Amino acid sequence: MDGASNPDSDSRLIRGRYRLETVLGLGGMAEVYLAFDQKLDRQVALKRLRPEYARWPEFRARFLDEARLAAQLNHPNIITVYDVVEDGDTVLIVMEYVPGRTLAALLKERSPLPLEEALHYLVQACAGLGYAHRAGLVHGDVKPQNLLIAPGQRLKVTDFGLARVYDQVRRSRSSGVVWGSPPYLSPEHARGEPLVPASDVYSLGVVLYQALTGRFPFEAQTPQEWLTAHREARPTPPRLYNPAIPVRLERVMLQLLAKEPGARLRTADQLGRVLLDFTQRTDTRAITMPARATAPRLEHGSPARQALLLTPTTGPEPLPPEPPWYAGWDWRTWALALLALLAVAGLIPLWLWVYYLYFPPVP
């Protein structure tokens, strides 16, 4: 394939159509380039699978299947996959190019984010992931690096299926290796179990926690410590780091970090509805977030951090009860609705009288 092995050479054309322009990013599994589609006269992002994975037949086959499924997703909060190119030992995914930066870059620049801004991004991530969940796809590697912020504060989810495919292949080979980003892995992922939509919800919970506190729910240094923390440790209540987080939202955040998938919200759609409901009931602009997290960091090897890792997962401290089911009702609207119902019900005897007046029963 011309130019695939040496993108800095003069011959940068791939399949006589895609001209490589510059490197956008280098990852453990793939390289991403900015390219120009000469056939459709547009810029695209081109992801090339590293040769060691492209030559792995089982991984390659599953990866191509997953990429083709991702190409069927059409949602404003998901990066569009245009094409899948297979040429010899090279596998390429041609995707929509989105100028902007990742949520990870934004969090590195300033965190915690204002509550309104953080929820604005998370709701969009839920919309994209929820659409994928309805299509039967689990992302498997939700993290700020895979959440792109386009101009106009539009968030788009990218990299569907990479970690999930590797996880499936890894389980089939029983290698004992867990693939993914350790700070964002769900407990079932850390246990080597199959991934489900609630696995993505857990990772979204970690992202929301990080966006609002500038910290992670657990303190760990090595991948093994992260796996242990996700499986066994109790998350630090986020209000300990950021007291400006509303209690009701903290309750949701801790639910997202439940160890068992059934104890969380099941899909990203459900989480999105909960966050939207919260924003509608709360003036998020009136909540001022601190410049940085105020609680001291639990240093590696400290007794406090070790105690947190070994704390049984019996759940967080009790929180104030939820407001009653009728809280927030517009009583005037309900009173008018009740009067209307009574008025309609009161007409029933009149209707019966008219009916029997004109259609008397036959003796």
In the 3-class helix/strand/coil scheme, how is 161-212 assigned residue by residue?
CHHHHHHHHHHHHCCCCCCCCHHHCCHHHHCCCCCCHHHHHHHHHHHHHHHH
Q: What is the pLDDT of residue 335?
A: 73
Q: For 293-316, what is the mean pLDDT?
A: 40
* CA atoms in the 13 A half-sphere facing the CB of 219: 21
**Could you tell me which residue, 51 or 260, shows the higher pLDDT?**
260
133 in a domain, yes or no?
yes
Q: What is the pLDDT of residue 330?
A: 56
Same domain, 58 and 114: no
Which of the four pLDDT bands, split at 50, 70 and 90, describes residue 305?
very low
Residue 229 lies in a domain: yes
Q: Are 110 and 257 part of one and the same domain? A: yes
Tell me which of 66, 96, 126 is where a domain ends.
Answer: 96
pLDDT band at 179 (very low <50, low <70, confident <90, very high): low
Instruction: State how many domains the chain has.
Output: 2
361 in a structural domain: no
Based on the domain organization, do 134 and 264 belong to the same domain?
yes
pLDDT of 298 > 70? The answer is: no
Shared-domain flag, residues 181 and 201: yes
The answer on pLDDT for 138 being more than 50 is: yes
Please give the model's pTM, rounded to 2 decimal places: 0.74
The pLDDT of 211-238, averaged and rounded, is 94
Q: Where does a domain end: 69, 96, 123?
A: 96
Residue 106 within any structural domain of the chain: yes
Shared domain check, 280 and 182 = yes
pLDDT category at 21 given cuts 50, 70, 90 is very high
Query: 65, 141, 159, 200: which is the annotated catalytic residue?
Result: 141
**Model confidence at 171: pLDDT above 60:** no
Give the integer Cα–Cα distance in Å for 155 and 123.
Answer: 9
Say if residue 229 is in the same domain as residue 193: yes
Mean pLDDT of the chain: 80
Report the CATH number at residue 53.
3.30.200.20
314 located within any domain: no
pLDDT value at position 104?
95
Of 114-128, 302-316, 324-338, 340-354, the one with minimum mean pLDDT is 302-316
Burial per residue of 127-156, b for 16 or more beta-carbon CB atoms within 10 angstroms, e otherwise: bbbbbbbeeebbbbbbbbbbbbbbeeeebb
- pLDDT at residue 353 above 80? no
283 included as an active-site residue = no
Could you please report the per-residue DSSP string of 26-56? E-SSEEEEEEEETTTTEEEEEEEE-HHHHT-
**CATH assignment at residue 198:** 1.10.510.10
Instruction: Specify the pLDDT at position 302.
Output: 44
Q: What is the pLDDT of residue 142?
A: 95
Mean pLDDT of 37-64: 84
Looking at the domain assignment, is residue 54 inside a domain?
yes
pLDDT-derived band at 148, boundaries 50, 70, 90: very high
pLDDT(124) > 90:
yes
Backbone angles phi, psi at 192, to 5 degrees: 80, 20
Q: Assess if residue 346 is contained within a domain.
A: no
Same domain, 84 and 114: no
Per-residue model confidence (pLDDT) at position 251:
96
223: containing domain: 101-296
Looking at the structure, do residues 209 and 147 belong to the same domain, yes or no? yes
Residues 105 and 92 in one domain: no
Proportion of the chain above pLDDT 70, given as a percent: 77
User: What does the pLDDT read at residue 178?
Assistant: 53
In the structure, what pLDDT confidence band is assigned to residue 162 with cuts at 50, 70 and 90? low
